[in-house]
Structure 1
Amino acid sequence: MLVRTPAARTAATLAAATLAALLLAACGQDDDPSVATPSTAPTSVAPSSATPTAPTPTVTGTPSASATLAAVDRQVTVTIAKKRVDPPTGRITVSKGQSVRITVTSDVADELHVHGYDLGARLPAGTPGSVEFRADKTGLFEVETHESELVLFQLVVR
């Protein structure tokens, strides 16, 4: 493409610079959940009604009572202690379009990762970390920790 006028050259240069900046910014966003901002405060404290033989993590279908947080359709709370996941690993099914909040507390520093959505959060030892997102992709997605390589549960979006 041949640009002859100074105004057209300037517009083309600006367009190229904007495109380059967008591409460079996208390259800085990788699948590493350590780039996510960690949650520094618990998003909710749900009483554990799961027994040691519970097949799936605790899920509540009601919005959080916290006035400072937006309402979510599904809340999932998981605790990790001595490499044991509580409630035990299982599947959680949500409907496409629902908002989901996953809160994990680990006894050791780790990273939470939601595959397929490429979301993550740091998990400082003993401090809850959360991710919140709209389940807009259908399929089966593993939710795991990176350092300890524990599968917390499988998220099914239908």
Structure 2
Amino acid sequence: MPNARPTARAGLTLAALLAFAAACGDDPSPAAAPTTAAAAPQSSATTAAPGSGAPSPPVATGSPVPSRPAVDKDLVYTIAKRRANPPAGRVEVTRGDVVRITVTSDEADQVHVHGYDAELALAAGQPGSITLTAERTGLFEVETHKSHLVLFQLVVR
């Protein structure tokens, strides 16, 4: 058969392209992993025939959706002239929540989250962030060291 060799070559090329496309997708599911189909010669009829029962290549649809948000509570504070904005108050979260605290101060200072011993050095005029998982229940003050401002009280239930 003089045409058998080009058909097998076309099948291998198509299988390799499908495996490459599957490996390059953003989908972390097993369907995105390269298959062993490229290793064994196949005819283009079984590789590319629609409705043949062979899995179709995945279509890239963007980033996978996480099962849980990266940050459950995003808190942003600004300190100017030794005053915090928003004013001090209580912030309630649920145990296990991921909390990000971003602070911008007009003076160099340090933010401390009591009970978690998390600290953040602040450069004047530059925002800084602390991200923590609220693992301990209770009431915890978040304050600055130099200016002695209580930014808020973190309530973890």
* Counterparts of 2:74 and 2:116, CA distance in 1: 17
Partner secondary structure for residue 102 of structure 1: strand
The ranges of structure 1 where at least 4 consecutive aligned residues each deviate by more than 2 angstroms after the TM superposition are: none
**Corresponding residue for 2:79?**
80
Residue by residue over 1:26-79, the C-alpha shift from the partner in whole angstroms, topping out at 9 and shown as x without a partner, is xxxxxxxxxxxxxxxxxxxxxxxxxxxxxxxxxxxxxxxxxxxx8201000000
Say whether 1:90 aligns with 2:89. yes
Which has the bigger relative contact order, CA under 8 A and spacing at least 6? 1
**Corresponding residue for 1:99?**
98
Normalising by structure 2, we get a TM-score of 0.56
The letter for the 2-side match of 1:79 is: T
Structure 2: gaps of 5 or more residues: 1-68
Q: CA RMSD in A?
A: 0.9
* Counterparts of 1:71 and 1:139, CA distance in 2: 22
Which has more radius of gyration? 2
* Counterparts of 2:142 and 2:151, CA distance in 1: 6
Residue by residue over 1:99-130, the C-alpha shift from the partner in whole angstroms, topping out at 9 and shown as x without a partner, is 00000000000001000000011000000111
The letter for the 1-side match of 2:120 is: A
**Corresponding residue for 1:141?**
140
Matches within 5 A, 1:17-32: none
**Corresponding residue for 1:110?**
109
**Corresponding residue for 1:154?**
153
The letter for the 2-side match of 1:129 is: G
Partner secondary structure for residue 132 of structure 1: strand
* Counterparts of 2:100 and 2:151, CA distance in 1: 14
* Counterparts of 1:145 and 1:129, CA distance in 2: 13
